[in-house]
Chains A and B, each alone.
Chain A
Amino acid sequence: MTGSLNLWLIPLVPFAGFLVNGLIGRKLPKAFVSAIALIATIIPFAQVVKIWFQFSGLTLPYLENHGTWIWTGNFNANFTLALDQLSMVMLLIVTGVGFLIHIYSVGYMAHEEGYWRFFAYLNLFMFFMLTLVLSENFLLMFVGWEGVGLASYLLIGFYFLKDSAVKAGMKAFVVNRIGDFGFLIALFLLVAHFGTLSFGAIFSAVAQHPEWQGGFLTAVALFLVLGATGKSAQIPLYVWLPDAMEGPTPVSALIHAATMVTAGVYMVARTHPIFERSPLALSTVAFIGAITCFFAATMGLVQTDIKRVLAYSTVSQLGYMFLGCGVAAYSAGIFHLVTHAFFKALLFLAAGSVIHSLGGEQDMRVMGGLRKKIPITFWTMTMAVFAICGFPPFAGFFSKDEILYQAFIWPHGGKILWFIGWVTAGLTSFYMFRLWYLTFLGESRAQTHELAEQGAAVHARSDSKLVVEAEHTHGVHESPWVMLGPLVILAILSVIGGFIGVPAAMGRHDEIGHFLEPVLGSVPHAAGESSGLELGLSAAAVAIGLLGLLVVHFMYKVKPELPGKLATQFRGLYSLLLNKYWVDEIYGAVIVTPLLLFSRYILKALFDRGVIDGAGFAAGMTAQGFGAIVQRVQSGNIRSYAGWLAVGAAVLLIAVYFGFTSHFPPQ
């Protein structure tokens, strides 16, 4: 090994950027703020790339200890950073995509208030995310885990004057707390059982005891899953992610699509030795993933807000990753995480470019015909749409097929999982091409549509007024190159990104799968006779994707009046989807309202006001009343004091004389 890799620099440089921008950024010019933020992200990226080139020469996992954090009794936790293949992949994604999105933000946020605040939060997010990825124990990972939640909260509520943004931020935070509760319980169980939180120590202990199956490990795994469902927006805790679209679009791209929400997937992959021992927990992950990916896709079918479609799409794609992890194909899940980071970041950034070019408009019903006006955005977004729909040879094709194939050959209900995933692939294709047709093709509906005025008014609040006016003066226009550059790079990655994992059945070696093998273990793969199956499944997935495209073409191009007709004909189903199965309302009625009522009337009125305040009041009144009685002795009259003195002396004398005390016994 040649020298230290200085892993600690990777998270700490963005943190320094956060400190500088957060503390004095308000007084600095915008160019300076963005320069600091970009430098603070390119240094980690450059270092990660440098490590990547040294990677083959390293002994893995490479550990770096930076002292003891907690040392109490038998338990200690260190500031230990670790580098292995899995964290290498995550580092490349987080720093690479993160850097691109930082560049994009320079253009996107150019006219916004609180420019410095935005970049400070973004750098803070990078710090916590890199801590999460690099940590060698659960506790440090939990720090990153909580920290990205904090950064997410701050950035969702970035337009803090807007009520809905503040509420969305709060919702994201509270829902994430529920998941974090599960994570914490899992940590407590691990400490109680192993006495340590180090990944290496726990996993080697598990490896040495093949007789440990299920039981305790199932409990740990299920609590970890609860944590993962919160962070990665899976059923039942996915409700925060669609609302999180209140944040600026680069935030949606970075945090709520490419990196933070994949933390749950990363965590499941990282702790897979525990999941391996618990078929129940694995099945839970798989079915949560499958059900989430299906339901989120159906909700995405009818949304009209361009970012909300992408939000549901993100939930759905995260469901695929969970499905992959749940069928023990962790590398497939991570592979999809990588490609998804490319094309979903691109989708969000391109959507941001559309929104930017329309001066803050997000409603797809008033878009249309943008293909000619913003060609670069159109073409890059087209790449992303093809990638997410899984058409070969785009990135999503390989990763999604890998997951579907692994699901198909999974012995415990794999066919059902595959079927759900397969149907979802069709739904994905439908909602993505619907977005594509509505946004870019056809004629512009901005003038004719009654919603134009209303929509613009709605979103004028989200962006600062200045932008809206400035943009509207010269109509629809392409975004500046500082925004288009990252789009183009991500588009290239979305096209070629899949080639890192082409399976053997298609003549390559599944490089990413083999790369991750030392950490995640090998996955059963098509060899020889079953490669036909793999190819068949791929063909089926592509077919259903094409079907989705054809249906969209028919509904939105050939017969544009058809969607409206269908919506009225299947009114119940349509409003069910449009209202997202009323899940928010159900959660509100079943959990939030009873909790609020309980807090307000039982805890606040009865317990807080009654018991606690009452006890304090009673203690005060008792002291005061007793004081009022004793106060009479303090008359201020010297002779009464003297009288009390004389009486006291007389009592003492009598006591002594009659031998009432043992100290003065009669001689």
Chain B
Amino acid sequence: MVPIYYYLILSAILFSIGVGAFLIKRNIISVFMSIELMLNAVNLTFVAFAHHWHQVSGQIFVFFVMVVAAAEAAVGLAIIIAIFRTRATLDVDRIDLMKL
């Protein structure tokens, strides 16, 4: 049986990659993908712990996260398309209308 910390380490690595990509990437699509990556890293921990403690609730949480992520993807992509149409760019650094 694979020990739990293997999953946890893998999850941490995935999450860190997500955070790193979120900070580095300028393209909104890439930023969006890194968010998905972080979410899935968390999902992996949920599943691993659910298996480890023989608790089903962890797996149910994963479904919830997936549903929310799907909704977020739908809304997020719609926003991205709207931004691209109006501003003809996907560079997050140039989308700073809210700046003081």
Contact = CB atoms under 8 A, between A and B. Distances in A.
Interface string B76-100: 0000000000000000110111111
Interface in B6-57: 19, 22-24, 26, 31
A636 B92 contact: no
B98 A636 contact: yes
A634 B100 CA distance: 7
Interface residues of B, number: 14
Interface of chain A, main secondary structure: helix
Contacts of A639: 22-24, 26, 92-93
A638 B99 CA distance: 10
Contacts of B31: 638
Nearest to B98: A636
A662 interface: no
A635 B23 contact: no
A580 to B, nearest CB: 69
A661 B71 CA distance: 37
Contacts of A643: 23
Nearest to A636: B99
The CB with the most chain B CB atoms within 10 A, among A636, A638, A643, is that of: A638
Interface in A638-667: 638-639, 642-643, 646
B22 A634 contact: no
Contact of B96 (A631, A636, A642, A646): A636
Contact of A646 (B19, B26, B93): B19
A208 interface: no
A631 B100 contact: yes
A634 B19 contact: no
Contacts of A636: 96-100
A245 B23 CA distance: 86
A74 interface: no
B57 to A, nearest CB: 21
A637 interface: yes
Contacts of A635: 96, 99
A616 to B, nearest CB: 25
B96 A637 contact: yes
A646 B100 contact: no
Interface in A620-643: 631, 634-639, 642-643
Nearest to A649: B19
Nearest to A634: B100
Contacts of B98: 636
Contacts of B24: 639
A639 B27 CA distance: 11
A634 B19 CA distance: 20
A157 to B, nearest CB: 55
A635 B97 CA distance: 11
A398 B5 CA distance: 120
Nearest to B20: A646
Contacts of B19: 642, 646
A283 B95 CA distance: 90
B93 A637 contact: yes
A631 B93 CA distance: 18
Nearest to B28: A638
B41 to A, nearest CB: 14
Contact of A634 (B23, B95, B99): B99
A635 B31 CA distance: 18
Nearest to B25: A639
Contacts of B92: 637-639
Contacts of A642: 19, 22-23
A166 B92 CA distance: 71
A642 B24 CA distance: 10
B89 to A, nearest CB: 14
Nearest to A632: B100
B23 A646 contact: yes
A490 B95 CA distance: 93
A637 B95 CA distance: 8
A635 B95 CA distance: 12
A108 to B, nearest CB: 71
B93 to A, nearest CB: 6
Interface in A532-584: none
The CB with the most chain B CB atoms within 10 A, among A631, A635, A636, A643, is that of: A636
Interface in A63-114: none
A621 B44 CA distance: 52
Nearest to B35: A642
A345 B93 CA distance: 90
Contacts of A646: 19, 23
16 contacts: A634-B99, A634-B100, A635-B99, A636-B97, A636-B98, A636-B100, A637-B93, A637-B96, A637-B99, A639-B24, A639-B92, A639-B93, A642-B19, A642-B22, A643-B23, A646-B19
Q: Which 6 A-B pairs have the closest CB atoms?
A: A636-B99, A636-B96, A638-B92, A634-B100, A642-B22, A643-B23
Given A636-B96, A639-B22, A639-B23, 17 more contacts: A631-B100, A634-B99, A634-B100, A635-B96, A635-B99, A636-B97, A636-B98, A636-B100, A638-B31, A638-B92, A638-B95, A639-B92, A639-B93, A642-B19, A642-B22, A642-B23, A646-B23
